[in-house]
Structure 1
Amino acid sequence: MTLSHYTKEFSYNLKLAYPIILGMLGHTLIGIVDNIMVGKLGSTELAAVSLGNSFIFIAMSLGIGFSTAITPLIAQADAEKDEKKIRSVFHHGLLLCTILGIALFVIIVLAKPIMLLMHQPKEVVEMAYPYIDWVAFSLIPVIVYQGYKQFADGLSKTKYSMYAIFMANVVHIFFNYVLIYGVWFFPKLGILGAALGTVISRIMMVVFMHYILKYDKNIKPYFKNFSFKEIKKSVIKKVINLGTPSALQMLFEVSLFTGAIWLSGSIGKTSQAANQIALTLATMTFMFAMGLSVTAMIRVSNQKGLNDYVKLVVVAKSIFLLAIIIEIVFALFFIAFHNYLPSLFLNLENTHQAIDNREVVHIAAQLLVVAAIFQISDGIQVVVLGALRGLQDVKVPMYITFVAYWLVGFPISFYLGLYTKLKATGIWIGLLAGLTIAAILLYIRFNQLSKRLIEEQIITHREIQTQ
């Protein structure tokens, strides 16, 4: 294969990916808006939101990871023109996402006392406690929304989730502003206002997504005549078998970054606030790779449904190449502006917080240099994961991510962060190590699996010809 075989796929990849990327950036913007608005209140408030969201992100990773099982099943059925299968996967997936959202809400609320055992600053924990209750409730609409989103993505209708997220951001920014700072007749609620703004916006997001899909003439038939009598154990089992390893894959990565938040908090609130700033910026650029990951999942599933494995490899590798190019650009951006970007999240004119804020900016700038380097590894591992999910290969990648993140990455973060002078920077070096190992091993897995599928198809084709 020449380079042109891959680059000619860029156009369609981007056409499919850009709404997903914009939607994910919009989703990330909800967290960024919280951080910027809360950061103006002080570093303690920012650290409290960071700690509270660390619990939410763990639960959300399980929900989002589980919901990704819907997309490859829908995309494969779409390629096969099997409308009955599409309807069945959609209904079963949405039901399971609803149940999971409720379960995650209850678990997070019950798990709050764990904060008291994590050696976090007392004032940060006290402030984070009520914040978690409300944001945890928003997990229900978020996971339900994911059910709708993954269904639409599987049909290559990637723009609808983008529209829903944009609408949610408008609602979120409005309610955040008036509830955090007490504008007009609204009470001044501080970080609790940020939590309520998140809840309201996420409820509106799922409502909007439901109706925008329901009134699409091509999708409308899948919304008619839902009945629990149609629910089958075999389909539930299939979704769960795909969704559970996918959820654990995402959990292992998100919990690694959550571990970084907790380790930073044990060093001090300025390290925790700096970690949150750097993590927010890195997450924003990561959304581009995540969008390409979903694109890989959709296109690989389509080719799997068509049994065209040679084209499947070309499509997948074109997305890998595109992700590498984009992440290199972001790496250079982080290096060029690492001293400036952290100041956007803090009120540097606040004389009472001046010493803390200067320290936060200094630490965050160092973290962004490390983040610049792992942009590439992070991008590769997530797009390859998307391709593997498209092949419905989820168990081996689950084991790979566990080894990379928790047997390699976290021990390095723990040692360098707590027992060397590197501190917060050492924590992020551990993240870099884990992501790099994951990227290498996952790519090897995809290469082996795709070659095997092509070889088996060639052998089958020859056997048919000889008969």
Structure 2
Amino acid sequence: MNLKQYTKEFSYNLRLAYPVVLGMVGHNLIGMVDNIMVGRLGSTELAAVSLGNSMIFIAMSLGIGFSTAITPIVAEGDAEKNDTKIRSAFHHGLFLCTILGLVLFGVIVLAKPIMEMLHQPDEVIALAKPYLDWVAFSLIPLIMYQGYKQFADGLSLTKYSMYAMVMANVLHVGMNYVLIYGIWIFPKMGIIGAAIGTVISRIFLVMFMHIMLSRRNDLKHFFSNFSFEEIKKETIKKIVSIGFPSAMQMLFEVVLFTASIWLCGNIGRTSQAANQIALSLASMTFMFAMGLSVTSMIRVSNQRGLQDYKKLIVVARSIFLLAIIIESVFAIVFVAFHQFLPHIFLNMENTIQLTDNTEVIEIASKLLLIAAVFQISDGIQVVVLGALRGLQDVKIPMYITFVAYWVIGFPISYYLGEYTSMKAAGVWVGLLAGLTSAALFLYIRFNYLTKKLIKN
């Protein structure tokens, strides 16, 4: 196999991936903007947003993971030129995403007492609870938006989610600024202002997406005459059979990262803030791999629909290679700027917070060195997962990710964080071990399945 056959796929992969990447970065920016603006209020406020968002990320991972079931069915229908299959996947998917959004909102509101059980600082919990109520509500429009996004992605129309996300982000930054700090006629609301800003921007996000897609002439027939009579039990079963394991895969990873927030919270407030900074930066670079993962899912689904399995392998491997190259560049950036990057998040002119902030920067710069290595593993595992979803193989990868993150990764994080002098750095070594195991076993699975497809 020569390298050229993979590299010639790069330009199409990037064309498909870059709008998804920018949309994902936009998703992430909503949380990052909250962190930066709230960080100016103080480390207790930053820890409260971090704690609240840790619970939101768990719910969000279920919603986003579940919604990915729509894309491979739509992409396969697109390759087969089967409009009925596409319409059915879209309508059923959006219906299920709306129900899931409502359920997750209810679950998060009821789950607030968990904060006390996690032995988080009292002053952090007091601020986090009202913040959580509002941000939990924003899950309803967010997961409905995912239904639209995955439908558009399946048709290779990846730019629409990018446009919607850019518009929502501009609105979010403006709303946050006036509501957090109390500008003009608006009261100073602190972290509640950040939460309300998130709700408003996410409602507009789903509205932007609906308007843009429904106005396209070639898509109008997918939006007309929706009725509940069209909802069929067997289609719901098919989407759930792909969506549930996909949601679990994402949940296992997100809960592992959430556990790192809690473990660092147990170590101390400065470790928790440092962990939040390193996570924010690593999450931003991870979005590039996530964009390639969606590309992987779309292109593998298309080739599966066309039953061209040799081309499927070339396409998938070209995406894996691209992910390794991009994440390696970010690794170099993290190593080169590991002492400078944490300063973006903290106000070093605040003399009252100076001792805390200096300690936070010292810990965060160590974590970024570990993050430099682990994002390569993270990139590989997520693009291979995308390819496996494109093959509609979700059950075995669900078990693989569970073992990698919870049988290998978490025990290492827990032991090194709680019982050695490595503290927060030890927690991150565990994350690295889990992600590397997942990348290795998922690739073995992909290799096995594609060889089997060609043989048959």
Q: TM-score, normalised by structure 2?
A: 1.00
Task: State the 1:286 CA deviation.
Answer: 0.1
Output aligned runs, 1:443-458, within 5 Å.
443-456=443-456
Tell me the residue number matched to 1:465.
none
Tell me the residue number matched to 1:65.
65
**Greater displacement, 121-130 / 154-163:** 121-130
Q: Residue 196 of structure 1 aligns to which amino acid in structure 2? A: I
Tell me the residue number matched to 1:80.
80
Kindly provide the CA deviation profile for residues 170-191 of structure 1, in whole angstroms up to 9, marking residues without a partner as x. Answer: 1100010000000001010111
Tell me the residue number matched to 2:373.
373
Tell me the residue number matched to 1:219.
219
**Distance in 1 between residues matched to 2:11 and 2:451, nearest whole Å:** 25
Kindly provide the CA deviation profile for residues 12-47 of structure 1, in whole angstroms up to 9, marking residues without a partner as x. Answer: 000000000011111111111000000011111111
**Distance in 1 between residues matched to 2:449 and 2:389, nearest whole Å:** 12
**Distance in 2 between residues matched to 1:42 and 1:326, nearest whole Å:** 34
Q: Residue 219 of structure 1 aligns to which amino acid in structure 2? A: L
Task: State the 1:394 CA deviation.
Answer: 0.1
**Distance in 2 between residues matched to 1:26 and 1:59, nearest whole Å:** 18
Output aligned runs, 1:283-362, within 5 Å.
283-362=283-362
Q: Residue 33 of structure 2 aligns to which amino acid in structure 1? A: V
Asked whether 1:128 is paired with 2:128, we answer yes
Task: State the 1:232 CA deviation.
Answer: 0.4
Asked whether 1:438 is paired with 2:415, we answer no
Task: State the 1:219 CA deviation.
Answer: 1.1
Task: State the 1:375 CA deviation.
Answer: 1.1
**Distance in 1 between residues matched to 2:221 and 2:111, nearest whole Å:** 41
Matched residue of 1:352: which SS? coil
Matched residue of 1:119: which SS? coil
**Distance in 1 between residues matched to 2:96 and 2:355, nearest whole Å:** 49
Tell me the residue number matched to 2:56.
56
**Distance in 1 between residues matched to 2:375 and 2:287, nearest whole Å:** 11
Tell me the residue number matched to 1:20.
20
Tell me the residue number matched to 1:268.
268
Tell me the residue number matched to 2:415.
415
Q: Is 1:121–1:268's contact at 8 Å kept on the other side of the alignment?
A: no
**Distance in 1 between residues matched to 2:433 and 2:220, nearest whole Å:** 46
Q: Is 1:214–1:220's contact at 8 Å kept on the other side of the alignment?
A: yes
Matched residue of 2:319: which SS? helix
Q: Residue 355 of structure 1 aligns to which amino acid in structure 2? A: T
Asked whether 1:176 is paired with 2:176, we answer yes
Task: State the 1:122 CA deviation.
Answer: 1.1
Kindly provide the CA deviation profile for residues 184-221 of structure 1, in whole angstroms up to 9, marking residues without a partner as x. Answer: 01010111110011000000000010010000111111
Kindly provide the CA deviation profile for residues 244-275 of structure 1, in whole angstroms up to 9, marking residues without a partner as x. Answer: 00000000000000000000001111110110
Q: Residue 134 of structure 1 aligns to which amino acid in structure 2? A: W
**Distance in 2 between residues matched to 1:150 and 1:434, nearest whole Å:** 28
Matched residue of 2:141: which SS? helix
Task: State the 1:294 CA deviation.
Answer: 0.1
Task: State the 1:383 CA deviation.
Answer: 0.1
Q: Is 1:182–1:189's contact at 8 Å kept on the other side of the alignment?
A: yes
Matched residue of 1:351: which SS? coil
Tell me the residue number matched to 1:40.
40
**Distance in 2 between residues matched to 1:192 and 1:256, nearest whole Å:** 27
**Distance in 1 between residues matched to 2:116 and 2:135, nearest whole Å:** 19
Asked whether 1:91 is paired with 2:96, we answer no
Task: State the 1:396 CA deviation.
Answer: 0.2
Q: Residue 38 of structure 1 aligns to which amino acid in structure 2? A: V
Aligned residues: 456
Matched residue of 2:226: which SS? coil
Asked whether 1:119 is paired with 2:129, we answer no
Q: Is 1:301–1:390's contact at 8 Å kept on the other side of the alignment?
A: yes
Kindly provide the CA deviation profile for residues 355-401 of structure 1, in whole angstroms up to 9, marking residues without a partner as x. Answer: 11101111110100000010110000000000000000000000000
Q: Residue 192 of structure 2 aligns to which amino acid in structure 1? A: L
**Distance in 1 between residues matched to 2:215 and 2:191, nearest whole Å:** 37
Tell me the residue number matched to 1:11.
11
Q: Over aligned residues, Cα RMSD in angstroms?
A: 0.4
**Distance in 1 between residues matched to 2:316 and 2:90, nearest whole Å:** 25
**Distance in 2 between residues matched to 1:333 and 1:122, nearest whole Å:** 37
Task: State the 1:105 CA deviation.
Answer: 0.2
Sequence identity (%): 73
**Distance in 1 between residues matched to 2:258 and 2:161, nearest whole Å:** 26
**Distance in 2 between residues matched to 1:178 and 1:184, nearest whole Å:** 7
Task: State the 1:222 CA deviation.
Answer: 0.1
**Distance in 1 between residues matched to 2:284 and 2:163, nearest whole Å:** 18
Task: State the 1:121 CA deviation.
Answer: 1.1
**Distance in 2 between residues matched to 1:270 and 1:192, nearest whole Å:** 23
Q: Residue 206 of structure 1 aligns to which amino acid in structure 2? A: V
Q: TM-score, normalised by structure 1?
A: 0.97
**Distance in 1 between residues matched to 2:220 and 2:424, nearest whole Å:** 50
Kindly provide the CA deviation profile for residues 287-316 of structure 1, in whole angstroms up to 9, marking residues without a partner as x. Answer: 000000000000000000000000000000
Q: Residue 166 of structure 2 aligns to which amino acid in structure 1? A: F
Asked whether 1:385 is paired with 2:380, we answer no
Matched residue of 1:2: which SS? coil
Q: Residue 416 of structure 1 aligns to which amino acid in structure 2? A: L
Q: Is 1:71–1:154's contact at 8 Å kept on the other side of the alignment?
A: yes
Tell me the residue number matched to 1:462.
none
**Distance in 2 between residues matched to 1:13 and 1:58, nearest whole Å:** 29
| Structure 2 unaligned regions, length at least 5 | none
Q: Residue 312 of structure 1 aligns to which amino acid in structure 2? A: L
